[in-house]
Structure 1
Amino acid sequence: MKDKLMNGMLSAAGAMQTQRHLAAIKNAFMSLLPIIIIGSFCTLFSNVICNTTPGFFSLANIPGLSFLGKLNPMFTAANYGTMNFIAIGCVILIAMELGEHYGITDKALPVVALGAYISLCAFTASGKAADGTEVVVTNVLSRVYTNAQGLFVGMFASIAATEIYCRLVKSGKLEIHMPEGVPSNVARSFTILFPSLITVVIISAVGMIFEMATGMTLFNAITAFIQRPLSNILTSFPGYITLIFITTVLWTFGIHGTQVTKAVYEPILLAAFAENEAAYAAGTAIPNIINTPFMSCFSTVTGAGITGGLIIAIMLFSKREDYRAIAKLALPCALFNINEPLTFGLPIVMNPVLAIPFMISPAVSATFAYAMTKIGFCARMVVNAPWTTPPGLMAFLCSGGNIGAAVTQIICILLAFVVYIPFVLIANKQQVVTEE
């Protein structure tokens, strides 16, 4: 029964990791991560360094440093050029990743996918003028379609366009053959002309037919009936705890749970983070507690399972020389949120004694951090710091410089330490029984 369960989980996880669409989404977001970090840090610099608003804590408000306020337009522009075009980058990168899976590396493919996605977007925007009258502007693309709000539709459009394009190109039935003297790059442009045309027209036609049949744009329908409900589930406390539990269960079977589930949760949590980042930049209330940096700070700090707590428990309470030796080697890695030496070295994988606290600790930590955020002790996350940022500093940066967030993160590690203690003591007795 145990072997059957394990084989089933390994098979399911392996299928998710190798499934071409999920793999393309996961790899696209990994490639997009530097842009997201740049954009969020530009917001941090704009607020902490360059903000000249009276009474606001900023270096620019310190006497003699007011000149820093002149740098604000630079950081604001850099933030707009990154965070407000996440959906565009996602469309391009998914098309490239999925195209590579099919052996199609045409430089035109990501442009075709982008064109297909844009064909699903509205080209008008409405708003109110200074006098309160309603104004409609034509021939514009609202940032709703380019920032994180457009991620889900962008993913679907990019995948659909790439699938159509690659099948048409690989069929070879729509090629336009040019004379031998024509340069290869020019000839290739004519070879992919009809596949490109048909791909964009098909996606555009689907959008038009859907709107004619339902009275709702395909973009709005996907947002309302797929993205928003899924977001409500994963950014709710019960849904998030369930996600974390599934991730750690996979880890205990030797499967990289974070990578397996990333394609599912990353778009949702990233969109929630983008909303927080935009609100922080605008100086308005931060809407979401749970988002991407919340996970990094309070669920995977020192590594999945918050194994920094296990290292402390081993160093203080373990009588096993093998555990202590591995913990010493793993400590430098844990400071940068890497825990493979512990996961596979002790091991935690397939070890019931350590697997139990490994699954419990992130849930305890997330619960505590959620409560501290709810009461206002810990600020909501508005910056996406690199995942290798050391504990304490990570939460401080992600919260926009909030001391309470840093304290909360350290306490989360200590809570994990408390959870691991009884199981480290059990491991001590386990060794004695084995020796006897």
Structure 2
Amino acid sequence: MKEKIMNGLLSAAGVMQTQRHLAAIKNAFMSLLPIIIIGSFCTLFSNVICSTTPGFLSLANVPGLGFLGKLNPMFVAANYGTMNFIAIGCVILIAMELGEHYGIKDKALPVVALGAYISLCAFSASGKAVDGSEVVVTNVLARMYTNAQGLFVGMFASVGATEVYCRLVKSGKFEIHMPDSVPSNVARSFTILFPSLITILIVSGIGMVFEMITGMSLFNAIIAFIQKPLSNILTSFPGYITLIFITTLLWTFGIHGTQVTKAVYEPILLAAFAENEAAYAAGAPIPNIINTPFMSCFSTVTGAGITGGLIIAIMIFSKRDDFKAIAKLAIPCALFNINEPIIFGLPVVMNPIMAIPFMIAPAVSATFAYLMTNLGFAGRMVVNAPWTTPPGLMAFLCSGGSIGAAVTQILCILLAFVVYIPFVLASNRQRIETEE
């Protein structure tokens, strides 16, 4: 029975890691990470350094530092150019990643995918004028189509358009052959002309037919029936804890659980973070507790399984020289949230004694952090700091300067330490019995 479960997990994880669409989505988000971090820190600088809003905690409000307020437009513009266009970047990068899988490296492919996605968006936006009357502006693209709200639709459109385009190009049935005297780059443009045209028309046509039949745009339907329900599940406390258990369970079998499940949870948690970041920039209440930096701060701090707590427990309670030697080597890595030395060196992988606390510690930590955030002791996450940022500093930055969040993150590591203690003591006993 145990072997069947293990084989089932390995098989499922292998499929998720090698499945071309999930791999393309995962790699695209990894490429987007620098842009997300830049946008996050621009928001932080805009609010903490350059804001001149009266009563706002900002360096620009300190006497003699008012000149910092003049830099604010630069950070606001940089934030808009990054965080408010991540859906566009996602569409382009997914098309490039998936195209490479098929051996198609046409520079036109990501543009075709982007055109297909834009064809599903509305080209007008409504709002209220100064006098309170409703106005409709045409020939514009609303921000909801370019920011994190459009991520899910962008993913589907990019994958669908790329699949159609690559199949048409590889079939060779729609090529326009030019004379040999025509330069190769010009000839290639005509070769992919009809595949590009057909791809965009297919996606656009699907959107048109869907709206004619249902009276709802395909964009709004995907958000209403897929993105929002999935978001409600993963950003709820039970759904998030389930996600943590799945990722750590995969880790215990030697599979990088975070990377395997990333393509599923990343768009949802990133969208929740983007809502927080936008609210923080606008000075509005922060809506979401669970999001991407919440996971980094309270579920994977010092590495998956919060193995920083295991290292502390080993250094204090372990009587095994082999454990202590590995723990000492792992300390510098743990400070930057890297834990492969302890996972594969101790090992935690395929180790029943260490696998149990490895799965329990992140759940306990996330529960405690969720409670502290809900009580208002820890600030909600509004900045996506690099995942290698040391503990304490990471939570302080991600929360926009909340001391309570930094304290909570340190306490989470200590809670993990408490969880690991009985199992470290059990490993002492196991070593003695083995030697006997």
Q: Could you tell me which residue of structure 2 aligns to residue 366 of structure 1?
A: 366
Aligned partner of 1:431: which letter? Answer: R
Q: Deviations over 1:366-391 (max 9, x none)?
A: 00000000000000000000000000
Query: Matches of 2:128 and 2:167 in 1, distance apart?
Result: 46
Aligned pair 1:434/2:429, yes or no? no
Query: Matches of 1:306 and 1:158 in 2, distance apart?
Result: 35
Q: State the SS of the aligned residue for 2:143.
A: coil
Q: Deviations over 1:78-103 (max 9, x none)?
A: 00000000000000000000000000
Query: Matches of 1:7 and 1:152 in 2, distance apart?
Result: 31
Q: Could you tell me which residue of structure 2 aligns to residue 14 of structure 1?
A: 14
Aligned pair 1:209/2:181, yes or no? no
Query: Matches of 2:60 and 2:150 in 1, distance apart?
Result: 35
User: 1:3 Cα shift?
Assistant: 2.3
Query: Matches of 1:264 and 1:294 in 2, distance apart?
Result: 17
Q: State the SS of the aligned residue for 1:84.
A: helix
Q: Could you tell me which residue of structure 2 aligns to residue 272 of structure 1?
A: 272
Q: Deviations over 1:348-401 (max 9, x none)?
A: 001011000000000000000000000000000000000000000000000001
Q: Could you tell me which residue of structure 1 aligns to residue 404 of structure 2?
A: 404
Q: Could you tell me which residue of structure 1 aligns to residue 302 of structure 2?
A: 302
Query: Matches of 2:308 and 2:200 in 1, distance apart?
Result: 50
1:41-190 paired onto structure 2 within 5 Å = 41-190=41-190
Q: Deviations over 1:396-429 (max 9, x none)?
A: 0000011000000000000000000000000000
Q: State the SS of the aligned residue for 1:323.
A: helix
Q: Could you tell me which residue of structure 1 aligns to residue 285 of structure 2?
A: 285
Query: Matches of 1:361 and 1:337 in 2, distance apart?
Result: 15
1:247-258 paired onto structure 2 within 5 Å = 247-258=247-258
RMSD over equivalenced CA pairs, Å: 0.4
Q: Could you tell me which residue of structure 2 aligns to residue 31 of structure 1?
A: 31
Query: Matches of 1:84 and 1:148 in 2, distance apart?
Result: 7
Aligned partner of 2:65: which letter? Answer: L
1:370-409 paired onto structure 2 within 5 Å = 370-409=370-409
User: 1:219 Cα shift?
Assistant: 0.2
Aligned partner of 1:181: which letter? Answer: S
User: 1:56 Cα shift?
Assistant: 1.1
Q: Could you tell me which residue of structure 2 aligns to residue 324 of structure 1?
A: 324
User: 1:125 Cα shift?
Assistant: 0.1
**Identity value in percent:** 87
Query: Matches of 2:413 and 2:71 in 1, distance apart?
Result: 37
User: 1:4 Cα shift?
Assistant: 2.4
User: 1:241 Cα shift?
Assistant: 0.2
User: 1:6 Cα shift?
Assistant: 1.5
Query: Matches of 1:308 and 1:210 in 2, distance apart?
Result: 51
User: 1:53 Cα shift?
Assistant: 1.1
User: 1:11 Cα shift?
Assistant: 1.2
User: 1:328 Cα shift?
Assistant: 0.1
How high is the TM-score relative to the length of structure 1? 1.00
Q: Could you tell me which residue of structure 2 aligns to residue 342 of structure 1?
A: 342
User: 1:2 Cα shift?
Assistant: 2.3
How high is the TM-score relative to the length of structure 2? 1.00
Q: State the SS of the aligned residue for 2:144.
A: coil
Query: Matches of 1:264 and 1:54 in 2, distance apart?
Result: 42
Query: Matches of 1:62 and 1:353 in 2, distance apart?
Result: 54
Query: Matches of 2:72 and 2:157 in 1, distance apart?
Result: 35
Query: Matches of 2:15 and 2:374 in 1, distance apart?
Result: 38
Query: Matches of 1:361 and 1:58 in 2, distance apart?
Result: 36
Q: Could you tell me which residue of structure 2 aligns to residue 421 of structure 1?
A: 421
Aligned partner of 1:119: which letter? Answer: S
Q: Could you tell me which residue of structure 2 aligns to residue 40 of structure 1?
A: 40
Query: Matches of 1:3 and 1:242 in 2, distance apart?
Result: 22
Superposition misfits of 4+ residues, deviation over 6 angstroms: none
The alignment of Structure 1 onto Structure 2 pairs a total of residues equal to: 436
Q: State the SS of the aligned residue for 2:213.
A: helix
Query: Matches of 2:231 and 2:7 in 1, distance apart?
Result: 31
Q: State the SS of the aligned residue for 1:127.
A: strand
Query: Matches of 1:321 and 1:78 in 2, distance apart?
Result: 52
Q: Could you tell me which residue of structure 1 aligns to residue 236 of structure 2?
A: 236
User: 1:7 Cα shift?
Assistant: 1.7
Q: Deviations over 1:37-60 (max 9, x none)?
A: 000000000000001111111111
Query: Matches of 2:223 and 2:10 in 1, distance apart?
Result: 32
Query: Matches of 2:12 and 2:375 in 1, distance apart?
Result: 39
Aligned partner of 2:397: which letter? Answer: L
Q: Deviations over 1:315-342 (max 9, x none)?
A: 0000000000000000000000000001
Query: Matches of 2:62 and 2:252 in 1, distance apart?
Result: 51
Q: Deviations over 1:214-267 (max 9, x none)?
A: 000000000000000000000000000000000000000110000000000000
Query: Matches of 1:62 and 1:113 in 2, distance apart?
Result: 48
Q: Could you tell me which residue of structure 1 aligns to residue 200 of structure 2?
A: 200
User: 1:8 Cα shift?
Assistant: 1.7
Q: Deviations over 1:274-315 (max 9, x none)?
A: 000000000000000000000000000000000000000000
Query: Matches of 1:54 and 1:411 in 2, distance apart?
Result: 34
Structure 1: stretches of 5+ with no match in the other structure: none
